[in-house]
Amino acid sequence: MTPDAGADTAPATTTRVTPRRRAARAALLAVVFVCAACGLVYELALVSLGSYLIGNTATQASIVLAVMVFAMGIGSLAAKPLQHRPVVWFAVVELTLALLGGLSVMGLYAAFAYLSMYTEALVVVAFVLGLLIGAEIPLLMVLLQRIRRQDAGSAVADLFAADYIGALLGGLAFPFLLLPAFGQLRGALVVGLVNAVAGLLLVFLLFRRDLSRRGAWAVGAGAAAVIAILVAAFAYSTTFEVTARQALYRDPIVLSKQSQYQDIVLTSRSTPDGDDVRLFLNGDLQFSSADEYRYHEALVHPAMAAHPKRVLILGAGDGLALREVLAYPTESITLVDLDPAMIDLARTDPRLTRLNRGSMNDPRATVVAADAFTWLRTNDEKFDAIIIDMPDPDETPTAKLYSTEFYAMVAAHLRDGGVISVQAGSPYFAPRSYWCVGATLGSAGLRTLPYHVDVPSFGDWGYFLAARDQPVLRMNPPTEPRFLSDDELRAAQIFPRDRPPLDMPPSTLMDPRILRYAQGEWKQY
């Protein structure tokens, strides 16, 4: 032990030694700060990845946090026998954590794409990372006491203050720095590198003389190997991501973009009738160019039968519903979609502009990038027709868009005599979800008319037409639709005996029943 390492057998009694001890102590607490930030980023990365791939952020967060906190307790106990050689074991724990934490997102993505066993792999990864994070604190406490011995309460206060402040840094850096700059996969690898370097600096700058020559070489070689693996994984990450993503889709991927809100993928394959272009958001199919006209005609034309002058579209950032609305002599159309990246693609990507016929650039349309829930709360405009084309309610952020509170705000923006059209999922494959949407509209003071059509890419797909008075399902298009006719509309109101209407409770913000139904039905579908 040397004065640089802070030998506890020689108390700091001179001004020459005290600054060194203070500097060493500050350096160790700085490493605690960095390690805590890295540990929290690993946790957030696992939660974020699960929410993108599986949905249901609440469940993913519960699994990750519960497993990791439990494993941290086990790791703290497991670190007791390691305290006789804290420098060596801290180096082993930190390098292992940096390697596994850095590769965690890549490994879980591979498990999801190639093995279809994401949840099982998530539990294992969360447990192992929790063990290693839990083992850090006891070892760091021993090292802190070696620099300058102090009473247990003060040492714990200092260590945990650095730990919690570091966690704040990690929690803020993940969404505002790492995700925008690197994305999930490469962001985890960058954090792993930072983690490895921080641990290495602590060992070699403060406690180098605690290591034997062989031990120093072993730690150095291990660190070099970990850093080399992480750098190689970073270099390979783009190729890996493209290959793994392609394994999830039947058709070749022609565009892939990770926006602030979602994973946007376009696929395309040649068919005898032309290219079949498909849009996926977070892995869920949004449309196929082969039959999207069936879906959008059924959604839009019943709401436009009275030729409304002012129309509001919520969602539908691809511009396809807007294309159908623009066929009518409307005065103004407002489209509100959450994701600016999706709006930009719909305006500029030639595959999308060919399908939406340039609707997102039409002068009659005002396109707003905003959360629909927030926009409704802060806007007092009223409309003759409101068309709601939201993603499936199988994730926590989208469940609120199928709540009583949301539909009540929608109704407040409806002029007298106006109608609302809502896509509601499949009454055949997801009957509880579908009829829950109808019950929720009813709980918001609206009367509803259910109907369904066949969309081959989706199967049997359902909608609700809603109004303050009983709505009537009819059409009055300015041009002949490709699919819908009066006969189809009459048939659309009939539900088969094996799929009768269900008496479901409404979904609310505080009790999002639609989320439970959707997770149980839509994911199986």
The answer to whether residue 343 scores a pLDDT higher than 50 is yes
Q: Is 163 annotated as a binding residue?
A: no
Most confident of 153-167, 384-398, 435-449: 435-449
pTM exceeds cut of 0.85: no
Q: Which amino acid is at 298?
A: A
Q: Where are the domains of the chain?
A: 20-248, 292-519
Task: Tell how strand 332-337 and strand 365-369 pair up.
Answer: parallel
In this structure, of 40-44, 53-57, 380-384, the range with the lowest mean pLDDT score is 53-57
Query: What is the Cα–Cα distance from 191 to 387, expressed in whole angstroms?
Result: 43
The answer to whether residue 204 scores a pLDDT higher than 80 is yes
Q: Is 372 annotated as a binding residue?
A: yes
Query: What is the Cα–Cα distance from 88 to 20, expressed in whole angstroms?
Result: 22
Is-contact 107 223, C-beta < 8 A? no
In this structure, of 7-21, 181-195, 323-337, the range with the lowest mean pLDDT score is 7-21
Query: What is the Cα–Cα distance from 399 to 305, expressed in whole angstroms?
Result: 29
Is-contact 22 16, C-beta < 8 A? no
| pLDDT at residue 523 in the model | 54
The answer to whether residue 9 scores a pLDDT higher than 80 is no
For the record, the structure tokens of 60 come out as 């993913």
8 pLDDT band, cuts 50/70/90, is very low
| pLDDT at residue 51 in the model | 81
What percent of the chain has a predicted confidence (pLDDT) above 90?
A: 72
Q: Is 150 annotated as a binding residue?
A: no
Q: Is 392 a catalytic residue?
A: no
Q: Is 512 annotated as a binding residue?
A: no
| pLDDT at residue 522 in the model | 56
| pLDDT at residue 15 in the model | 34
**∠ at Cα 180 (175, 185), nearest 5°?**
85
CATH number of 292-519: 3.40.50.150
Intrachain domains 20-248 and 292-519 with the same fold? no
pLDDT digits (tens, 9 = 90+) for 288-338: 999 999 999 999 999 999 999 999 999 999 999 999 999 999 999 999 999
Other C-beta atoms within 10 Å of 232: how many?
Answer: 11
Q: Is 272 annotated as a binding residue?
A: no
Q: Is 8 annotated as a binding residue?
A: no
Element (H, E) at 453: strand 447-455
Nearest to 128 by CA among 169, 106, 98: 98
Set 389, 392, 394, 460: catalytic member: 389
The mean of the pLDDT values for the chain is 91
Q: Is 339 annotated as a binding residue?
A: no
Fold of 20-248: Growth Hormone; Chain: A; (1.20.1250)
Average pLDDT over residues 350-373: 96
| pLDDT at residue 59 in the model | 81
Is-contact 126 182, C-beta < 8 A? no
Q: What is the 3-state secondary structure (H, E, C) of 367-403?
A: EEECCHHHHHHCCCCCEEEEEEECCCCCCHHHHHHHC
In this structure, of 52-66, 414-428, 448-462, the range with the lowest mean pLDDT score is 52-66
End-to-end alpha carbon distance in the chain: 64
Query: What is the Cα–Cα distance from 321 to 315, expressed in whole angstroms?
Result: 9
Average pLDDT over residues 88-92: 94
pLDDT digits (tens, 9 = 90+) for 432-444: 999 999 999 999 9
Catalogue the long-range contacts made by 465-472 (C-beta closer than 8 Å, 24 or more residues apart). Answer: 465/302, 465/303, 465/419, 465/420, 465/421, 466/407, 466/419, 466/420, 466/421, 466/422, 466/441, 467/414, 467/417, 467/418, 467/419, 467/420, 468/411, 468/414, 468/416, 469/417, 471/419, 471/447
The answer to whether residue 364 scores a pLDDT higher than 50 is yes
Query: What is the Cα–Cα distance from 73 to 174, expressed in whole angstroms?
Result: 24
205 pLDDT band, cuts 50/70/90, is confident
The answer to whether residue 12 scores a pLDDT higher than 80 is no
